[in-house]
């Protein structure tokens, strides 16, 4: 029994409480230091699953494609993220639908702070934190190139910052919707990269990703404005109360603070869209350069074929058909002796 209690500490979420409801009592959860133990356990689970996907899927595909070292590294990165994002999108969509966060958008800010979480919401956040923390040692295990490490570290740090902030500041409902939108766009991007590595002429999925990316950015910005601009300022409990998990909703009564936060959000989304537009312009420029080079190569090949054809058939000089050595192709008549 002693070992069972210790095992449950690693496997199951902690800090469960019984919350009275109209239908009786409901078991929900809040966060604490013991969550770090659970996260540590699922970090090892994520490392094992990472190795399984690499060994039984990605390595076998890589052997058939014979990719270069640079493409090999990017293929492994995108392959792992496709598996993770697909799983997370399905799981997150199931959670937000069953909890009613999509059918009732007002639930994103009503009764804030959302200190008590359903089991599946807390478990989802713990697994998300475990995955992005496991990505740090994977940089060493996967022997990522030094040039790629700063970019990947920045990506991991941003995900950890956003997920941990939503979890600790009791904005888990808003965080779930934002993660769903982000993961959906990322799934199409990495899926497009995988298809591109297998067939460099196939870039149709990049166009699909471009549409999904723009749509998800618009939904993200709209959601921020709806929750921060209109939702949180209407929360009944506006006093600072860290014990109840109310950290900053009182600040949203101040119109200057609210507008400053919305301005920062808009600037961040604008920078993301600028990088996206820059990427699309560079991709289109490379595409047109490639098309023009192919046309020039085809035109040069046609000219070469024309020259070879003239050589084979001879060419005209002053109205007389001549062979390559300049002599007439007609046979000379021998004079009779």
The predicted model scores a pTM of 0.82
Residue 239, burial from CB neighbour count under 10 angstroms (0-12, 13-18, 19+) = exposed
Residues 6+ apart with CB under 8 A from 113: 170, 237, 244, 245, 246, 247, 249
Residues 6+ apart with CB under 8 A from 28: 16, 17, 19, 116, 117, 118, 119
Provide the pLDDT for residue 247: 62
d(CA 127, CA 92): 12
d(CA 147, CA 164): 27
Provide the pLDDT for residue 308: 62
If residue 28 lies in a helix (H) or strand (E), which one and from where to where?
strand 24-29
Residues 21 and 116: beta-carbon distance below 8 Å = no
If residue 278 lies in a helix (H) or strand (E), which one and from where to where?
helix 255-313
Q: Where do the structural domains in the chain lie, given as residue ranges? A: 1-237+246-253, 258-300
d(CA 245, CA 115): 6
Q: Identify the top-confidence range among 12-21, 87-96, 305-314, 317-326.
A: 87-96
Least confident piece of the model among 126-135, 145-154, 178-187, 323-332? 323-332
User: Is 335's pLDDT higher than 50?
Assistant: no
Q: What is the mean pLDDT of residues 28-34?
A: 90
When pLDDT is cut at 50, 70 and 90, the band that residue 120 belongs to is very high
Q: What is the mean pLDDT of residues 2-12?
A: 80
What mean pLDDT value characterizes the chain? 83
Question: pLDDT tens digits, residue range 224-262?
Answer: 888 887 887 777 655 666 666 666 665 666 677 778 878
């Amino acid at each position: 029994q002693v070992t069972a209690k210790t095992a449950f500490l690693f496997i199951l979420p902690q800090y469960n409480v019984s919350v009275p409801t109209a239908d009786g009592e409901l078991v929900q959860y809040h966060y604490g230091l013991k969550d770090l133990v659970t996260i540590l356990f699922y970090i090892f689970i994520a490392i094992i699953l990472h190795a399984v996907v690499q060994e039984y899927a990605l390595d076998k595909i890589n052997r058939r494609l014979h990719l270069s070292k640079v493409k090999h590294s990017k293929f492994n990165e995108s392959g792992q993220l496709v598996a993770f994002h697909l799983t997370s999108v399905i799981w997150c969509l199931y959670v937000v639908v069953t909890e009613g966060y999509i059918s009732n958008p007002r639930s994103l800010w009503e009764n804030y702070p959302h200190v008590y979480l359903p089991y599946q919401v807390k478990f989802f956040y713990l697994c998300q934190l475990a995955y992005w923390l496991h990505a740090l040692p994977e940089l060493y295990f996967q022997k990522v190139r030094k040039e790629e490490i700063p970019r990947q570290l920045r990506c991991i740090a941003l995900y950890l910052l956003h997920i941990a902030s939503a979890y600790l500041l009791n904005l888990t409902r808003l965080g779930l919707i934002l993660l769903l939108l982000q993961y959906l766009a990322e799934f199409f991007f990495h899926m497009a990269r995988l298809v591109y590595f297998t067939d460099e002429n196939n870039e149709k999925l990049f166009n699909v990703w471009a549409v999904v990316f723009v749509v998800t950015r618009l939904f993200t910005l709209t959601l921020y404005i709806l929750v921060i601009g209109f939702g949180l300022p209407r929360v009944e409990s506006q006093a600072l109360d860290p014990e109840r998990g109310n950290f900053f909703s009182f600040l949203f009564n101040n119109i200057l603070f609210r507008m400053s936060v919305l301005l920062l959000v808009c600037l961040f989304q604008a920078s993301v869209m600028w990088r996206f537009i820059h990427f699309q312009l560079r991709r289109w420029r490379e595409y047109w350069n490639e098309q023009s080079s192919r046309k020039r190569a085809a035109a040069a090949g046609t000219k070469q074929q024309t020259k070879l054809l003239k050589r084979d058939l001879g060419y005209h000089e002053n109205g007389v058909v001549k062979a390559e050595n300049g002599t007439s192709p007609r046979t000379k008549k021998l004079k009779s002796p």
